[in-house]
Amino acid sequence: MKMIWDYRDDLIKMYPALQEQLKDIEQSDRPIIIGDQGDRVAAGGPGGSTYILNLENKINVETYFPIYDPDAVATCDRAGIGGEICLKFGGKYSIASPSVTAKGKVISLGANVPVLYEGPSDCGSGGEHQGTPHKPAVLLYGSRLFQSRGPRS
């Protein structure tokens, strides 16, 4: 009887090349979601990767980027809704995804809201940030939306 180890090469799948996927997105007439699997906060990543954003700047598509960056949220908060700012965000944890600087308009600031983990994968277990209030901010620059959240200020 073969063991699962014997099938390991059949079970390993490679993600499609991101640059090719981004080119395909330009041709799409429907929304596409791309996640940075190396920066998944549910897997312990910091959530501040700008890797996809830096590649995306080479194509022309409407995008939405959620990034964890408390300093960027504080800057947006100081500017207030409607404030036009030059914002440096993300990329604080890796040289592979440097920070991005963008000029844009703060279009939304959220109230401090607790982050609650629910669902079968969490089974009521508490995480490091469970119940910790977070304040979101949304910056519009060009046809791109950047949303960040940070701990309560």
Q: Per the domain annotation, does 51 fall within a domain? A: yes
Query: What is the mean pLDDT of the segment spanning 25-33?
Result: 78
> Token digits for 23?
């080119």
Cα separation of 117 and 129, whole Å?
9
Q: Per the domain annotation, does 2 fall within a domain? A: no
> Token digits for 128?
């490091």
Which pLDDT belongs to residue 81? Answer: 93
Q: Give the rounded percent of residues in the chain with a pLDDT score beyond 70.
A: 69
The pLDDT confidence band at residue 80, using thresholds 50, 70 and 90, is very high
Q: Per the domain annotation, does 137 fall within a domain? A: yes
Among 3-12, 31-40, 112-121, the least confident range: 112-121
Q: Per the domain annotation, does 1 fall within a domain? A: no
Query: What is the mean pLDDT of the segment spanning 23-29?
Result: 80
Phi, psi of 55 (to 5 degrees): -70, -40
The answer to whether residues 87 and 75 touch, using CB atoms and an 8 Å cutoff, is yes
The total domain count for the chain is: 1
Phi, psi of 79 (to 5 degrees): -75, -35
**Domain of residue 134, residue span:** 7-151
Q: Within 10 A of 144 (CB to CB), how many other CB atoms are there? A: 18
| pLDDT higher than threshold 50 for residue 37 | yes
Cα separation of 77 and 143, whole Å?
21
Residue 135: DSSP 8-state: E
Which pLDDT belongs to residue 57? Answer: 60
Query: What is the mean pLDDT of the segment spanning 87-105?
Result: 86
Q: Per the domain annotation, does 124 fall within a domain? A: yes
